[in-house]
Amino acid sequence: MALTTRRRALTTLGAALAGAVALPAGTALASEGRHGPRPLWRAHAHNDYEHPRPLLDALDHRFGSVEADIYLVDGQLLVAHDPEDLDPSRTLESLYLDPLAARVRANHGRVYRRDRRALQLLIDIKTEGEATYRELDRRLRRHQHLFTSYAHGRVFPGAVTAVVSGDRAARAPMEAQRTRRAFYDGRLTDLGTAAPASFVPLISDNWTLNFGWQGVGAFPAAERRRLHELVAAAHARGQRVRFWATPDVAGPARDAVWAELLAAGVDHLNTDDLAGLEAFLDARRDA
């Protein structure tokens, strides 16, 4: 396949994995008036479940990606950051899957009323990966019309794209599936490997392990060049890029790092501050 044709194919695949989108049942957002602001696809709600209204607060701020940590406990997938915070009432279904399904039904197949792209649901596995993924797979199949899926070599866009992160033991059972409703969150070590974007559509890594700059002073030229090269390499393969552990305290340093991430084409900006990132991206028309 010619390089230009291959790049076009990868771009199409990336668009498919970004997918279709949609709103929670009975909830009309003030930001979604007839000519209201568009969704912020580059905004990622890190540890989303720690907000007062998991999922819904991020959607009210028009985020394009939310993150839920899960533990497999007595056959249930519970959402929490630490084991001591586990609560049997806070399940993946009650906080995410059921509200998303209701929202998409209410909006005729979309998460955001005015945009068909897919919301990313990043699911971080905190217990043993293989067993937890197998249970997660069963739960996702109960909502088979909600999620972007992979079947026999093709990606079929849905309103929500589930991406599995966390314990790496989930990788083997996922790779063995001919059909699945989730994709894998790779690391920088996955760049340039045989893993295709149809399996690894997202490359995530720890900012502090790869870059020394924390937003104070000038961004070192060598680090800026490395960042741009990493993003370009991922995009050439139809993969998106996210860094966690970036500065997240409101102020000039955080804004400086976010500005460099945008300039490099990083696809998801990681934050716990929903309003802060919303305001930052709204001030930049190309975000």
Q: Say what the pTM is.
A: 0.88
Residue 154 pairs with which residues in a beta bridge?
A: 151
Q: Answer whether residue 22 shows pLDDT above 80.
A: no
Residue 246's SS3 state is coil
Alpha-carbon separation of residue 269 from 64, 86, 200, 245, 277 (angstroms): 10, 27, 18, 10, 8
Q: Per DSSP, what are the bridge partners of residue 68?
A: 123
Q: Of the candidates 101, 90, 100, which has an alpha carbon nearest to the alpha carbon of residue 50?
A: 90
The conformation of residue 147, written as its DSSP 8-state character, comes to B
Contact 149, 181 (CB under 8 A): yes
**Percentage with pLDDT > 70 across the chain:** 87
Domain extent listing, the chain: 3-282
Q: Are 93 and 79 in contact (CB under 8 A)?
A: no
Query: Which pair of structure tokens corresponds to residue 161?
Result: 């794209």
Tens-place pLDDT, residues 23-68: 333 333 333 444 457 999 999 999 999 999 999 999 999 999 999 9
The half-sphere exposure of 20 on its side-chain side, counting CA atoms within 13 A, is: 16
Q: What are phi and psi of 147, to 5 degrees?
A: -105, 145
- In the numeric block, the tokens 């998303």 are attached to 100
Is the model's pLDDT at 123 over the cut of 80? yes
Pairwise CA distance, residues 227 & 231, whole Å? 6
CATH classification code of 3-282:
3.20.20.190
Q: For residue 72, is pLDDT > 50?
A: yes
Q: CA angle at residue 126 from 121 to 129, to 5 degrees? A: 90
